[in-house]
Chains A and B, each alone.
Chain A
């Protein structure tokens, strides 16, 4: 079946512009996660959504970052007034749930470059 998809695959933007990154999770997966990975670094947790519960935003690095998930499916991560330090690969993952040991499946990521 279809895996997690993300768009765009690459995004180059100028400092100060806003960007939107999209994630389509695996159908039926109730949990959705966003991570950020800078070159040569580990995964940095940003936010996760579980069903209709309020999202856990504890990993968002600043108030320039926000995310929403409409209809329990597609999610959009928005970065306002982008800075050069926002350059990274943004990864989305989904899982059946957040309890019971369900595995996360990742999309291919969006490579964001802020010039």
Chain B
């Protein structure tokens, strides 16, 4: 089992739709979590951190479920410009610091 797993998709949704991605992790000692966005042939860019209490930034909501060991990203009112690959990142410090990126979930928003 991979330490961080994401559904690769692709998710094909119409403009205005709500879409959600999950990312599961296996190490219960994981400490910090992030969502990144990566456009084709570009570097990953930080989208948002994920806090234990959940957090929202405009149309984006991130949540952490420690009991079930997953994080989620919800995008409301999807825009064409949201089309990208979304990467989750999990950091933990068991036996030394480690950072693991998920393989990403591809999203296509169509008109």
Contacts and interface: CB of A to CB of B under 8 A. Distances in A.
Contacts of A109: 43
Given A103-B46, A103-B49, A106-B44, 20 more contacts: A33-B99, A42-B103, A43-B101, A45-B99, A45-B100, A45-B101, A48-B97, A48-B99, A98-B99, A99-B31, A99-B93, A100-B32, A101-B32, A101-B49, A102-B32, A104-B89, A104-B99, A106-B45, A108-B43, A109-B43
A21 interface: no
A107 interface: yes
Contacts of A48: 97, 99
Nearest to A4: B43
B87 interface: yes
Contacts of A18: none
B34 interface: yes
Contacts of A50: 97
Contacts, number: 50
A contacts with B: majority SS: loop
Given A56-B96, A99-B97, A101-B32, A43 B87 contact: yes
B36 to A, nearest CB: 8
A91 B96 CA distance: 22
Given A43-B87, A50-B97, A56-B96, A107 B104 contact: no
Interface residues of A, number: 22
A101 B97 contact: no
Task: Tell which of B43, B93, B102 has the most Cβ of chain A within 10 Å.
Answer: B43
Interface string A40-77: 01110100101000001000000000000000000000
Contact of A42 (B43, B87, B96): B87
Given A50-B97, A56-B97, A106 B104 contact: no
B61 interface: no
Nearest to B2: A42
A107 B43 CA distance: 7
Interface in B1-46: 31-32, 34, 42-46
